[in-house]
Amino acid sequence: MGIGNFTFKTAIRQFGYYFVIFFILLAVGYRFKMYNLLFTSHESFFGAGYTNLKFNLPYYLISIATCIISAILLFWALKKRNNKLLVIAPLLLILVTFIGGLGQGIVQRFIVQPNEIRKEEPYIKRNIEMTSKAFNLNNIQEIEYPGDADMSPEDLQSSQEVISNIRINDVRPAKIIYNQLQSMRPYYSFSEVDIDRYNLNGQPTQVFISAREMVLDDLPSQAQTWINKYLKYTHGYGAVVTPANQITSQGQPELIVKDLPPKTNFKELEIKRPEIYYGNYTNDYVIVNSGEKEFDYPSGNSNVETEYKGKAGIPLNLMNKAVFALNKGNVKLLISNLITNDSKILINRNVEQRIKKIAPFFTYDDDPYLVIDKGNLYWIIDAYTSSNKYPYSEPISSNKWYKGINYIRNSVKVVVNAYDGKTDFYLIDEKDPIVQSYAKAFPGLLKPRSQMPEGLQEHLRYPVDLFDIQTKVYRNYHMTNPRVFYNREDAWNIAKEIYNNDPKPQFMDPYYLNMKFPKSDKLEFVLMRPFTPINKDQMIGWLGARNDGDKYGELVLFKFSKQKLIYGPMQIESRINQDSVISKELSLWDQKGSNVLRGNLLVIPINGSLLYVEPLYIQADNENSLPEVKRIIVSYKEHIVMEETLIKGLEKIFGKEISDNKTNDEPNDNQLETPDLKSLAKQAQEALDEAKTTSQNGNWAEYGKALNKLESILKQLE
């Protein structure tokens, strides 16, 4: 019995010491709970509120003190073997916990809820201020814009730079057309079409640009050999560029950089180093300077070959051969006699994976975009710093890639040379405290913006991903009055449009346009997105991000009057559907055998007024058909027309000739037709050659594809 009592008491004492540690850890936990009050979610706002600061904060301080006192009492009781004190310590903590839970409910129900707006007002104001700072929305320039000013033909004539830069092409149809007309071979593909601007012959011009990359998986099955995949077909080649505001007489984008090797009449777009060794599709290693010449580009019945002259790559000496043979799981790297002392292996060639390996602590935009500068091709990628611990800032809930963060900055731009993979990180936002920490932790990684080549700086774009987040946050956080915010009296929504062939309205994506700000004669490249009041369709304003020079990153809000109607995009879409002439034409075109595709509805501010422009595509209902711009819908105030070109639409609305010269959306057939016919004839010959080759090899699947391609080209020639 004595032995049993001794053992039991010893065990009690041992467990008692564990409880001492438990009380200490509990005190630490309460200390962290004090910080977490800053991230409390309420029905009407985010952050610490009245109950948190007036009751919970003191309660946590008392709880910390209680835990420490309990730990001391328990430790003293164990030392002195005082059973009474052993009971007091946990009872004391239970009492405080009970009082805390009961008191919080009483304060919230009987003090806060009867007069919530008054009690929470200072904390709502803090939430608004901190969220605006966290998403860089606290320095937005506001412009009161009439939106319904009278516009004359003379106003349009004086705004020719804006008119001639209105985008009448659309990204999705452009991608289809590029892949149909400019892929040339089944292993070439255009993955993304990016929007940028170039000064062409001294004129600022918005363009679509896309890289012609090699997709090795699309090589014919019998050509999927180790030599072909890793030594022969090593790189993509060149790019395609089209002005966003020009179409051919067939309604297709006018190609101003095209073919193999790339051809252009514009010096600014000349590509002297077209090989793409680093890109979006370059997901595997390749070996250059081997005994096997590299395929460069097809030319008629033969292929042009090349050797890599860049500095990139790891020399494949005997030791490196063995290492990479083991790493890649392929003994051919070690035993192939095609790998010589001059051979090099290029790894980490996917630009997104490459930069993540260099600096994995940044979050990267998933849309690298291509830039032509001094004859070379570069990829520019936006890098972000972000956090979910910014006090009083409401976290994002509507963006799947950045969900949960409540602070973000586009602090870094990454540039990757498409030929040699040279990667540079440039610091754009020096005020961001997170990137300052990274700069100190990794000295030499981030270069100042001043060291970025001037030609690349001209192509910096405000990122769509960041702007998408900011506009969604701004829907509520443009309200700076706490009472208005609490009641959501002036909540906004992203404007909607009818897009493609989907009759269901969808939120408008941010889009780039060239425009002039009020009291400015300078044409600027701006990323914008319109807003409407919640559950309403009239337009209340739009937010724009500037992209050029020292104005880069500035946000401007065009505010429209709440006392008069400014048509929103969906109201224009409804008017299109209700117009007897337009709707009849759309119904006729959208019959079996063809589809009508609606492009983005663009809202263009000009001289205090608004112009609405929407291109219409028609696509035949077969596999190889190309979408073609057939009509342009133009709306101004109560007028809405549909014409073959933008200028004809404007002239019909304003009843006067806008310009004596041919404009960008009305091509000169004598200038455009001959090059297009030559290009199509060349493509037809190449498709015929491909059909002959594949039939001789017995590859009937590829033979069928070549015949389909030839048929499509012949239809275009007709």
Q: What is the pLDDT of residues 26-84, one digit of tens each?
A: 889 989 999 999 999 888 899 999 999 998 899 889 888 888 888 888 787 777 666 66
Would you say residue 294 has pLDDT above 90?
yes
Structural domain ending residue among the three candidates 408, 428, 461: 461
144 and 25 inside one domain: no
Question: What's the confidence (pLDDT) of residue 518?
Answer: 87
- Model confidence pLDDT, tens digit, residues 457-507: 999 999 999 999 999 999 999 999 999 999 999 999 999 999 887 888 999
Residue 233 one-letter amino acid: Y
What pLDDT does 473 receive?
96
- The domain of 84 spans 2-134
Does pLDDT of 386 surpass 80? Answer: yes
Residue 248: what pLDDT?
Answer: 85
Tell whether 100 and 234 lie within a shared domain.
Answer: no
Residue 485 and residue 559 in one domain: yes
Nearest-CA neighbor of 717 among 181, 285, 241?
181
What are the residues whose beta carbons fall under 8 Å from the beta carbon of 696, sequence distance 6 or more? none
Which of 178-187, 363-372, 446-455 is least confident? 178-187
Per residue in 222-238, pLDDT (tens digit) is: 888 999 999 999 999 99
pLDDT for the residue 664: 45
SS3 helix, strand, coil % of the chain, rounded to 5? 40, 25, 35
- Give 448-464 as a DSSP string: EGGGS-HHHHTT----H
Q: Do 376 and 500 share a structural domain?
A: no
Do 123 and 18 share a structural domain? Answer: yes
683 shares a domain with 635: no
- The per-residue pLDDT for 494 is 95
Give which of 198, 205, 165 is closest to 374, Cα–Cα.
198
Token pair recorded at residue 684: 């037809």
What percent of the chain has a predicted confidence (pLDDT) above 70? 89
Reported residue count of the chain is: 718
- Please indicate, yes or no, whether residues 176 and 187 belong to a single structural domain of this protein: yes
Helix (H) or strand (E) holding 29: helix 2-36
Backbone angles phi, psi at 690, to 5 degrees: -65, -40
pLDDT at 488: 92
Calculate mean pLDDT across residues 209-221: 90
pLDDT tens sequence across 346-374: 999 999 999 999 999 999 998 999 999 99
- Same domain? 184 vs 322: yes
User: Which amino acid belongs to residue 664?
Assistant: N
The pLDDT-based confidence of 96 (bands split at 50, 70, 90) is: confident
Backbone angles phi, psi at 297, to 5 degrees: -165, 155
Structural domain count, the chain: 5
Mean pLDDT of the 552-579 span: 92
Omega of the bond prior to 58 within 30 degrees of 0, cis?
Answer: no
Residue 668 confidence class, pLDDT cut points 50, 70, 90? very low
Do 367 and 509 sit in the same domain of this protein? Answer: no
pLDDT (0 to 100) of residue 110: 84
pLDDT in tens, 148-158: 888 888 888 88
Cα(96)–Cα(522) distance, integer angstroms: 67
Which among 402, 434, 461 is the end of a domain? 461
Closest to 537 measured CA to CA, from 562, 491, 569: 569
Mean per-residue pLDDT of the chain = 87
Beta strands at 141-144 and 555-559: parallel, antiparallel or unpaired: parallel
Residue 663: predicted pLDDT: 42
**Mean pLDDT value across residues 415-423:** 97
pLDDT at 512 over 90: yes
Clarify whether residues 321 and 429 are in a common domain.
Answer: no
Residue predicted with more confidence, 200 or 78: 200
Q: Is residue 38 domain-shared with residue 120, that is, in the same domain?
A: yes
* pLDDT at residue 701 tops 60: no
Model confidence at 309, pLDDT cuts 50, 70, 90, reads very high
pTM: 0.86
Among 413, 437, 461, the domain boundary falls at 461
Q: Higher-confidence residue: 327 or 683? A: 327
pLDDT score, position 2: 45
Q: Tokens at residue 159, please?
A: 């705004």
Residues 194 and 307 in one domain: yes
Per-residue pLDDT at 100: 73
What pLDDT is stored for residue 483 in this prediction?
A: 94
Which DSSP category does 111 fall into? I
